[in-house]
Structure 1
């Protein structure tokens, strides 16, 4: 029966900070194994419990001491403790690296969750269904969504600044600087959309970067200028007769341009459908295959005109905002920009309420 007795001399080593718990356990285990090996070998003298206790106390107190017969065991013990210390050190390093990796992953996950929540609040819903228009395959759709999110965040800051200036009755000079900044920022989004349409025109045309409520009023990837002017007239009163006449003329010209673009879009869709229908029929012969390839090439060429429709529609929207800015006074322009922003903000809020509605 193996018996291990701790003396008052061994307690300081066990309670000190010098030895790692792994070292203490290995020391006891190694000593137990060595003693068993010695017990198994022939011996001419018997050791008493007192001798065993004295030997253990000497090992715990003076591992580095050398006193004749115990020198070999002390060296093995030192090597064992050194190996255990090295193993414990490496284990602590691995644990520290693992904890740091977990912390880094947690921070990245938190950042992604915040970005996703911000995107949802701003009306960006990135599909995971594998749709090409929402994939991350470098087609420009995701890049545009990110750019639009940044633009919208900056736009909200400018609108809050404009609202504060209007409420505080800022001077015309200060107010004009802020108004010009908001108008210039609208020009930025049209430029960003133009670049995105070159990469993925269907993404811009479908309006998947907008909220569901906004998509209900979508026309060629954006708002109808004529409808927006109708909403603004009631918000800008009182208007002079000259201003009212100019806005009505702008609204009518915008309506005519929108009708022309809509008719062109309908004609394109009809022509595209006829082109695709022309390639229908039994396949298998080389003539049918050649006809199919020719028809698809024609269809691809017609799809290329979609980018032109998006660009013309955005040009109309941009010109309408600029014309409105020239017709109105600085304070009227500020009120108009605030009304436009509030209108689209309410559409986004309506989408959030709709998506969060209770479902039976």
Structure 2
């Protein structure tokens, strides 16, 4: 049974994906038009709409995670295939640079390539920093759990009656744990947003459209593949 946060965010996510798919069609259309080189204003407007949609997603995500952060570490709205590619509640930032190499953007200069490589290295460093923080949280969770269990066992053995005090300590330990996970999630999201903005800042308007078209296609294809698999299972 879904929690209230899982229920509401699942509905939001489906609507968000529909909006992304609508913009995806426009991205593909513009990226394939040769005359588009003369219409940078239209390109920039579409790029702004896509980036605004992503920002709206993270605003909604952070608000919901503040109520139930655990829902985002095992999201019911994501397919098993999407979860396979997940990194700390979302896509891995370094994935953008692999996609850049595969997208075959037009007219990429040597200067752009150098700056993209610098950004890739910086992003990888920030990923590792977040991963270390997640490891620290996992160690802390294990330590707190063992401490609380030891204290609880001692009280039971001694016939202690301070149940409320023990429950209070457990509640506090859980609260600290959840706050730590929320910080890790936000830190990971910030790396994602910084990497995306950094890439777009280095590209021309047309290159941005081409790149976002390729990036959006990956996200949408993952969901479509999962739907096809589900339909085949249903038919069998």
TM-score (norm 1): 0.58
What is residue 195 of structure 2 aligned with on the other side? 320
Match of residue 255, structure 1, among 124, 127, 133: 124
Q: Does 1:286 align with 2:160?
A: yes
What is residue 343 of structure 1 aligned with on the other side? 218
What is residue 36 of structure 1 aligned with on the other side? none
Question: Which has more radius of gyration?
Answer: 1
What is residue 225 of structure 1 aligned with on the other side? 93
- The answer to whether the Cα contact below 8 Å between 2:31 and 2:213 also exists between their aligned partners in 1 is no
CA deviations 1:100-146 (Å, max 9, x no partner) are: xxxxxxxxxxxxxxxxxxxxxxxxxxxxxx2xxx23xxx42222222
- The answer to whether the Cα contact below 8 Å between 1:279 and 1:292 also exists between their aligned partners in 2 is no
Higher relative contact order, chain-length normalized (CA < 8 Å, sep 6+): 2
Q: Name the SS for the 2:103 alignment partner.
A: coil
**Structure 1 position 252, deviation (Å):** 1.4
Provide the C-alpha distance between the structure 1 equivalents of 2:104 and 2:62, rounded to a whole number of angstroms: 31
Between 167-176 and 333-342, report the one with greater CA deviation.
167-176
Q: How does 1:131-150 map to 2 (within 5 A)?
A: 134-135=2-3, 139-150=4-15
Q: Does 1:274 align with 2:143?
A: yes
CA deviations 1:147-166 (Å, max 9, x no partner) are: 22222111211121222222
**Structure 1 position 335, deviation (Å):** 0.7
Provide the C-alpha distance between the structure 2 equivalents of 1:230 and 1:164, rounded to a whole number of angstroms: 23
What is residue 77 of structure 1 aligned with on the other side? none
Q: Does 1:244 align with 2:118?
A: no
**Structure 1 position 234, deviation (Å):** 2.6
**Structure 1 position 202, deviation (Å):** 1.0
**Structure 1 position 340, deviation (Å):** 0.6
Provide the C-alpha distance between the structure 1 equivalents of 2:9 and 2:167, rounded to a whole number of angstroms: 34
Provide the C-alpha distance between the structure 1 equivalents of 2:171 and 2:228, rounded to a whole number of angstroms: 43
- The answer to whether the Cα contact below 8 Å between 1:207 and 1:218 also exists between their aligned partners in 2 is no
**Structure 1 position 299, deviation (Å):** 3.4
- The answer to whether the Cα contact below 8 Å between 2:94 and 2:123 also exists between their aligned partners in 1 is yes
Q: Does 1:166 align with 2:31?
A: yes
Mark the runs of 5 or more structure 1 residues left unpaired by the alignment. Answer: 1-129
Match of residue 181, structure 1, among 49, 54, 59: 49
What is residue 209 of structure 1 aligned with on the other side? 77
- The answer to whether the Cα contact below 8 Å between 1:276 and 1:296 also exists between their aligned partners in 2 is no
Match of residue 311, structure 1, among 186, 189, 202: 186
Mark the runs of 5 or more structure 2 residues left unpaired by the alignment. Answer: none
CA deviations 1:70-91 (Å, max 9, x no partner) are: xxxxxxxxxxxxxxxxxxxxxx
Count of residues paired in the alignment: 225
**Structure 1 position 206, deviation (Å):** 1.5
Q: Name the SS for the 2:94 alignment partner.
A: helix
Provide the C-alpha distance between the structure 1 equivalents of 2:116 and 2:75, rounded to a whole number of angstroms: 28
- The answer to whether the Cα contact below 8 Å between 2:69 and 2:181 also exists between their aligned partners in 1 is yes
Q: Name the SS for the 2:86 alignment partner.
A: coil
More helix by share: 2
Provide the C-alpha distance between the structure 2 equivalents of 1:210 and 1:350, rounded to a whole number of angstroms: 12
- The answer to whether the Cα contact below 8 Å between 2:6 and 2:76 also exists between their aligned partners in 1 is no
**Structure 1 position 333, deviation (Å):** 0.5
What is residue 157 of structure 1 aligned with on the other side? 22
